[in-house]
């Protein structure tokens, strides 16, 4: 072989990675920018699962989706959503094809790591009022000090009244705060491991420092009393109502474009709202109505997908059973012919921390949506490990649709790892594979993604449900 033939042979036989920017036209790049703007609006408005449910349902209703409750009639061409306790939601559209051909499913999660309030949260120490917290999901505790925080969730009163709370994200709102030790006195702290430098019981949130106006010093806890009075005046709640409430603190930093070229987005909670947004918008924007499609936005993924709003709950399979029943089909057959994308983020390669990745199998910013055959950790524990046949089927859909995609393993074999909801769907005899956006600084208060990968995730899910 001559030099030219050898070069051609190499070209033909070797794998080549792609950069999204090399593959998008001017108009597609403009579309990507527009899409990113919509995503930024979504992520700024949705800090917790409840807010993401309300936001996505409002979008769906504009596109003709109607609320479904078990027992309601399901019709061909119908567009429905099941609002599961305001904390998870399933959108489904009945396609033209027979239901026995299965349902195309994409499942993402809308909960993110954060600091939940304990049930007895409020106290005063040295003239400062605090909330005690129990963190939700996997976090590096030290990252959550000295960042602005906002309060979200619901106050649930003894008489059953439920009040939505959202303080700290709007201009003019106050924020909340966790202090860290000044470096000058941190000799002991700096000698500790990162895991021990800030402890869970130190993630106490500063709420106020002014005594209740008019209260004498001998009243005691007059700052706590001042805070409690503000809450009583605004919401009518007493301290006892915290026990039945569900409140959390999230970073109060809004999403921003990152870099001179604005090619990236930093935000709180990309994991996994950066997949949830493409999943439900792909359905709402879909032109083809052939397939029956279900988009699940689930809660509780960060703590194991348990409970009535997590992906392990039967409710999502109950919907498939109802779809089958509506057309006198066997639910087992419908499930067997269904396919699912478990849409969740992956660990993007970070050149600052190259040692934890195995570069040949890592995913990279701007190389497109990540198709991941298996997640889990060391020895493939905790994954459904999609079959090669199914990965091939999905890859063909993407290739035919011109989607720029890559593969990616979550870190080196013995370095750690992480699971997704994939196995909980696959356990129902539904072929499932992981797919999502590479993220840097995952689970930190301010995570990073590339716009190009967000856009390709939208295109990938759009091609899959077509």
Q: Binding residues for Mn ion, per CB under 5 A?
A: 271-272, 344
Q: At what angle do helices 26-45 and 451-465 cross, to 10 degrees?
A: 100
Nearer to Mn ion, 152 or 443 (CB): 443
d(CA 245, CA 227): 17
Q: How far is the CB of 353 from Mn ion (least distance, A)?
A: 17
Q: How far is the CB of 418 from Mn ion (least distance, A)?
A: 7
Q: How far is the CB of 87 from Mn ion (least distance, A)?
A: 16
Nearer to Mn ion, 271 or 367 (CB): 271
Nearer to Mn ion, 271 or 453 (CB): 271
Q: How far is the CB of 453 from Mn ion (least distance, A)?
A: 15
Q: At what angle do helices 26-45 and 270-285 cross, to 10 degrees?
A: 120
Residues 447/270, Cβ–Cβ less than 8 Å: yes
Rounded to 5°, the CA angle 292-286-63 comes to 95
Half-sphere exposure of 358 (CA within 13 A, CB side): 13
Residue 344, both tokens: 């969740």
Q: Which residue lies nearest Mn ion, judged by its C-beta?
A: 272
Q: How far is the CB of 313 from Mn ion (least distance, A)?
A: 17
**Of 458, 429, 432, 148, which is closest to residue 276 (Cα–Cα)?**
458
Nearer to Mn ion, 169 or 272 (CB): 272
Nearer to Mn ion, 259 or 304 (CB): 304
Q: How far is the CB of 444 from Mn ion (least distance, A)?
A: 11
Nearer to Mn ion, 79 or 443 (CB): 443
Helices (H), 17-134: 20-23, 26-45, 49-62
Dihedrals φ, ψ of 43, to 5°?
A: -70, -30
Nearer to Mn ion, 221 or 447 (CB): 447
**Of 461, 325, 360, 321, which is closest to residue 401 (Cα–Cα)?**
461
Q: How far is the CB of 105 from Mn ion (least distance, A)?
A: 17
Q: 328: helix, coil or strand?
A: coil
**In which element (H, E) is residue 341 found?**
strand 339-343
Nearer to Mn ion, 245 or 346 (CB): 346
Unique residue bearing structure tokens 């979504």: 42
Nearer to Mn ion, 205 or 437 (CB): 437
Q: How far is the CB of 375 from Mn ion (least distance, A)?
A: 10
Q: How far is the CB of 141 from Mn ion (least distance, A)?
A: 16
d(CA 168, CA 251): 9
d(CA 448, CA 446): 7
Q: Cα dist. 337→102, 293, 424 in Å?
A: 4, 13, 17
CA 420 to chain centre: 11
């Amino acid at each position: 072989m001559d030099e030219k033939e050898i070069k051609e042979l190499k070209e033909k036989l070797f794998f080549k990675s792609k950069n999204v920017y090399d593959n998008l036209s001017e108009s597609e790049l403009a579309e990507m920018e527009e899409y990113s703007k919509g995503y930024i609006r979504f992520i700024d408005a949705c800090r917790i699962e409840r807010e993401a449910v309300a936001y996505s349902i409002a979008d769906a209703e504009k596109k003709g989706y109607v609320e479904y409750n078990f027992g309601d009639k399901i019709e061909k061409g119908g567009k429905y959503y099941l609002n599961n306790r305001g904390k998870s939601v399933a959108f489904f559209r009945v396609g033209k094809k027979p239901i026995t051909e299965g349902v195309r499913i994409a499942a993402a999660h809308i909960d993110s790591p954060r600091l939940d309030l304990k049930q007895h949260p409020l106290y005063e120490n040295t003239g400062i009022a605090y909330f005690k917290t129990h963190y939700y999901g996997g976090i590096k505790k030290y990252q959550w000090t000295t960042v602005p925080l906002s309060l979200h969730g619901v106050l649930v009163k003894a008489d059953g009244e439920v009040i939505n709370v959202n303080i700290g994200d709007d201009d003019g709102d106050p924020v909340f705060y966790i202090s860290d030790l000044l470096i000058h006195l941190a000799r002991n702290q700096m000698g500790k491991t990162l895991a021990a430098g800030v402890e869970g019981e130190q993630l106490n949130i500063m709420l106020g420092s002014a005594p209740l106006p008019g209260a004498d010093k001998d009243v005691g806890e007059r700052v706590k009393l001042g805070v409690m009075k503000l809450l009583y005046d605004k919401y009518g709640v007493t301290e006892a109502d915290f026990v039945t409430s569900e409140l959390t603190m999230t970073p109060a930093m809004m999403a921003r474009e990152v870099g001179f070229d604005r090619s990236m987005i930093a935000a709180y909670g990309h994991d996994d709202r950066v997949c949830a947004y493409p999943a439900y918008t792909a359905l709402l924007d879909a032109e083809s109505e052939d397939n029956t499609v279900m988009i699940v936005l689930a809660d509780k993924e960060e703590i194991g997908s348990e409970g009535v709003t997590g992906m392990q709950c039967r409710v999502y399979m109950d919907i498939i059973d109802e779809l089958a029943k509506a057309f006198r089909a066997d639910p087992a057959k419908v499930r067997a012919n269904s396919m699912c994308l478990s849409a969740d983020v992956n660990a993007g390669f970070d050149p600052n921390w190259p040692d934890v990745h195995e570069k040949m199998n890592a995913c990279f910013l701007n190389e497109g949506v990540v198709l991941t055959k298996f997640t889990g950790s060391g020895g493939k524990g905790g994954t459904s490990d999609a079959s090669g046949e199914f990965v091939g089927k999905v890859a063909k859909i993407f290739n035919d649709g011109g989607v720029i995609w890559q593969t990616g393993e979550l870190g080196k074999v013995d370095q750690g790892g992480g699971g997704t909801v994939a196995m909980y769907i696959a356990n129902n005899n539904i072929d499932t594979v992981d797919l999502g956006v590479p993220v840097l600084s995952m689970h930190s208060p301010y995570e990073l993604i590339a716009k190009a990968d967000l856009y390709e995730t939208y295109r990938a899910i759009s091609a899959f449900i077509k």
